[in-house]
Amino acid sequence: MKIVLSIACALASVFGLSVRSEAAPAGGAPPKLALRTSDGFSVPQPGAVFQFPRDHGAHRDFKVEWWYVTGHCYGPAGERYGFQSTFFRRAVTPLNLADKNRGGAFSSDEIFLSHAAISDAVTGRFVHSEDLARTGWNAGASEEGLSVFLGQSRLLQPDLNAERFQLDAKVGADSGFSFALEPEKRLVVFGENGVSRKGNSPTAASWYLTFPRLKLSGSLRVGGRVVPVVGTAWMDHEISSSQLASDQKGWDWAGIQLDDGREVMVYRLRRNDGSTDPASALSWVDKQGKATHQEAGLFLWESAGKWKSPLSGAEYPIPVKLKAVDPESGKTVEWVLEPLFKEQELDGAVSGVPYWEGACRVLQDGRSVGSAYVELTGYAGALGRALR
């Protein structure tokens, strides 16, 4: 055990971790090691046993956490819309060091940021908004189950005994949406032994919980016009304390829902020199909800075009060409992730981090075989400082 502790301490000194040990009971089991970041936050560990509804809620011993919902929906005449809603929680003070006023009306130990967007494929109109608040009467998240809010936007589980969710978002002055979400497939935990690695550092990891396919119904407001819609959504919940390393500039990500009933989640972590980090990964989710993990060498993410933002000046590699090995057939498949339209950049007016996040078609040999949401970050400046 002393050897294990010495190795852990060596890693801690290299990667800026503090190692906490608990005394072993007399004649009993060896002490447990608890890795924390240098500023005192917990690090996601392998083999976690999640308990729901509690783990749909906030994890305040971790520095960074987000709840993320995207989807495609359709109006009565078949008109198509994409949407995105993200709630970020960023802790300032670790739970074990927090003062007694945590969660009060004027608390400053947690910051919440919400992003929301609507992509109107009929008009090519993209509307989005960002809001920022500290914990208190206007922003917060429950630890008992899923209930996170900022201003008039919220994501919650109305009945903790039923796995159904409600999403409401205000997008600008005259747009927004209100959706009921019901999982059509069980929850997936991505990563190896429950941990999604984002780099070599022990801190570069997350717990990554996903409902890859939810039935959606509700209404969407665009320019003051209310449209009843139905569709399909994707919901992520990531819990971390540090993700990007100093040699990583950003990431490319996609959540793909195939028409054959399967899903694919892929992220390509980009190094500062433009190369792909070996921690990049792709996961297939079969029709029964079982995930198959593939490492960076088994897929290829390439640009199939360029679009330069007139707002930020960033040049985004969109559309995307993605090649992957299908675990069912063993053959390589190739898709093009083509935007419904290219002008789907969030300008970072509040966060200071512009990025591209957009609704896409999935094309195979020119045929539509599914829908996707694609996220491209770090093209308008390195993203690492915000996630370390």
pLDDT tens-digit map of 269-286: 998 888 899 999 999 999
Task: Tell me the pLDDT band of 24, cut-offs 50, 70 and 90.
Answer: very low
In angstroms, the CA 274 to CA 146 distance is: 37
pLDDT for res 244 = 66
Confidence check: pLDDT of 264 > 80: yes
Confidence of residue 49 (pLDDT cuts 50, 70, 90): very high
- The CA-CA-CA angle for residues 174, 351, 311, to 5°, reads 70
Does the pTM of the predicted model rise above 0.75? yes
Query: Which of 268, 85, 61 is CA-nearest to residue 176?
Result: 85
- φ and ψ at residue 68, rounded to 5 degrees: -140, 125
Could you tell me if 374 and 320 are in contact, meaning their C-beta atoms sit under 8 angstroms apart?
yes
Angle at 107 between CA 96 and CA 137, to 5 degrees: 125
Distances (CA, A) of 256 to 9, 68, 219, 236, 261: 40, 14, 23, 13, 11
- Mean of pLDDT values over 324-333: 96
Q: What are phi and psi of 359, to 5 degrees?
A: -75, 135
Mean pLDDT on 9-19: 30
pLDDT at residue 175, as a whole number: 96
Q: What distance in Å separates the CA atoms of residue 218 and residue 106, rounded to the nearest whole number?
A: 35
Q: Return mean pLDDT, the chain.
A: 86
Handedness of CA 229, 252, 367, 293 (dihedral sign): negative
| From 79-88, 177-186, 201-210, the region with the lowest mean pLDDT | 201-210
Architecture of the 51-387 domain: Beta Barrel (2.40)
Confidence of residue 346 (pLDDT cuts 50, 70, 90): very high
pLDDT higher at 2 or 93: 93
Check residue 50 and give its pLDDT: 96
For 185-201, the pLDDT digits (tens) are 999 999 988 889 888 77
Query: How far apart are alpha carbons 112 and 100 in whole angstroms?
Result: 19
Parallel, antiparallel, or unpaired for β 315-316 and 165-171? unpaired
Average pLDDT value for residue range 34-54: 87
Instruction: Kindly list the domain boundaries of the chain, sorted by start residue.
Output: 1-38, 51-387
